[in-house]
């Protein structure tokens, strides 16, 4: 995985059931190839304010939103590399800034206020975010991902995420990935990331299969699901 950096791109999301996933997969194979990691387990800790300000704002679909997460590929040990990311979205464009450090360094910084030894502009932006929002760990969220890259256009990236799962306890990437599933049925979150317009074959395949963009945030979906369950429980036991 890349060590870190700044990313700017258009990202669109689509929700596929198993049937459409299999049909779409057949179409992309001549044009795309799976990246070197194959099926990856992506694990995240999402940070938010005590009052869930960031996820609540995100669910309102404002023109600008931002979030902070700590990410690993697989379950890390204390000395393994993890990625601290700020992700911002404005007018449909995603801007992501991330830096790499060990899990122990990240937790010392995020939970103990120990500033990392290696300074950078991205770290200073993250530090400003931390001082402004004073976020705390709020959600562990993991999923299984396969990533595809265009054979003739390396800027075109397609990912499929499945088995989206989360928990509210044991909020450390080192605690394993056991968590409750977001959906009981099998769904795939398709994300298409491109620096410009879609190639014709991709635009046509989406139209032919009636696959339409969806506004979807994994963190936001978990929050809304829990909110509905809490409201249901209140009415059930009142």
What pLDDT digit, counting tens, does each position of 65-95 carry? 999 999 999 999 999 999 999 999 888 788 8
Structure confidence by residue, pLDDT tens digits, 121-148: 999 999 999 999 999 999 999 999 999 9
**What residues are paired with 145 via a beta bridge?**
40, 161
Where are the chain's structural domains?
5-237
Supply the pLDDT for residue 2. 47
Element (H, E) at 167: strand 157-167
What is the predicted pLDDT for the residue at 184?
87
pLDDT at site 6:
64
CATH class of 5-237: alpha beta
Q: Indicate the pTM of the whole model.
A: 0.90
Structure tokens of 154?
């390396």
Rounded Cα distance, 21 and 189, in Å: 9
């Amino acid at each position: 995985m890349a060590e870190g950096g700044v990313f700017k791109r258009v990202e669109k999301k689509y929700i596929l059931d198993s049937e459409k996933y299999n049909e779409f997969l057949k179409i992309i194979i001549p044009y795309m190839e799976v990246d070197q990691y194959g099926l990856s387990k992506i694990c995240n800790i999402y940070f938010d304010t005590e009052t869930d300000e960031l996820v609540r704002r995100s669910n309102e679909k404002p023109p600008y939103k931002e979030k902070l997460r700590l990410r690993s590929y697989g379950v890390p040990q204390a000395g393994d590399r993890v990625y601290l990311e700020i992700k911002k979205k404005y007018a449909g464009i995603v801007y992501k800034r991330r830096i790499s450090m060990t899990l122990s360094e990240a937790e010392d910084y995020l939970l103990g206020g120990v500033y990392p030894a290696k300074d950078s502009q991205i770290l200073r932006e993250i530090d400003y975010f931390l001082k402004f929002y004073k976020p705390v760990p709020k959600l562990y969220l993991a999923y299984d991902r396969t990533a595809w890259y265009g054979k003739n256009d390396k800027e075109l990236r397609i990912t499929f995420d499945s088995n989206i799962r989360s928990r509210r306890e044991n909020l450390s990437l080192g605690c394993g990935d056991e968590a409750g599933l977001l959906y009981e049925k099998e769904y795939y979150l398709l994300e298409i990331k491109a620096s410009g317009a879609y190639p014709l074959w991709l635009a046509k395949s989406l139209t032919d299969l009636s696959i339409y963009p969806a506004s979807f945030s994994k963190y936001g979906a978990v929050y809304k699901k829990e909110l509905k369950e809490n409201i249901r429980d209140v009415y059930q036991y009142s």
